[in-house]
Amino acid sequence: MTSAAHTPLAGRATTGPEALVIDGRVDVDRAVLAPRGELVRGCADVLAVKLAELPSGVRRIELDMSGVEFMDTAGLAFLEHLGDHGVSHGIEVTAGNWSGQPRRILELVGLDTTDALRGPTPEPGPSTTSAVALERAERLRLLQEEVEQLRQAIASRPVIDQARGILMATQACTSDEAWTILREASQLSNTKLRVVAAAVTASTGTDGAPPPEEVRTALRRAIAHRGR
């Protein structure tokens, strides 16, 4: 049963490889929203739709970010849109309960992890500011590399899944066994896993070229090893 004082808000939109879901409720003049998923490209648009659905009487918006598992720089645009909404409508907005990788992003860019809309966290005294800035820059560089690796892993999923399916069909093996074959072939040939998977997939096409010799040899050895 729904009352005027407690109105559920439910919405789902897909942005990028994962779905960003923003659940929530309205208690009189206070909206509590709970995003779940990833803050990647398009997440600010999903937020804009959700904010537009809020009743006009809302005077405070609280975001519980504990359900956000991953964010890249698009997450900063998400926060910027939320902050702009608060300013333009003259209402209070907060975004807290950050954890995991998103919390690390906020720490590295200097935002308050208890409420990312408060702005930068206080810096140490002048004597240590330069050292902190250098350390933060290095940590941010490492985190950017980590984000790029995650992007590549996400992009590799389809071709790896296709290669596993091909091996399951041609070698009468299970999904786990196909994964083991691909991984072992990657190690034996010193070739990235996604490159091995792409070679397997391409070789099944009408005009597909066979995998490179070192990959073919590694695949034969990995398949033979499974049969022992």
The model's pLDDT over 81-128, given as tens digits with 9 standing for 90+, comes to 998 999 888 999 999 999 988 888 888 777 888 888 875 544 444 444
Instruction: Please report, rounded to a whole number, the percentage of residues in the chain having pLDDT higher than 90.
Output: 22
Question: End-to-end distance of the chain based on CA atoms, in angstroms?
Answer: 62
At 160-201, the pLDDT tens digits run 888 888 888 888 888 889 889 988 998 998 888 888 888 888
25 by DSSP, 3-state: which? strand
Question: DSSP string covering 72-87, please?
Answer: -THHHHHHHHHHHHHH
List Cα–Cα distances, 206 to 147, 152, 217, in angstroms: 36, 27, 22
Please say whether the beta carbons of 69 and 100 come within 8 A.
yes
Q: What is the CA radius of gyration of the chain?
A: 24
pLDDT at 115: 84
Give pTM, 2 decimals: 0.50
Q: How far apart are CA 167 and CA 174, in angstroms?
A: 9
Mean of the per-residue pLDDT values of the chain: 79
Q: Is 9 in contact with 23 (CB distance < 8 Å)?
A: yes
pLDDT bracket for residue 227 (50, 70, 90): low
Ranges of each domain in the chain: 6-118, 126-226
Please, what CATH class does the domain formed by 6-118 belong to? alpha beta
For residue 171, give Cα distances in angstroms to 164, 177, 223: 10, 10, 8
Q: Is residue 130 classed as helix, strand or coil in its secondary structure? A: helix
Of the candidates 81, 20, 27, 15, the one whose C-alpha atom is nearest the C-alpha of residue 54 is: 27
| Residue in 98, 133, 132 with CA at minimum distance from that of residue 118 | 98
* CA gap 157, 151 in Å, rounded: 10
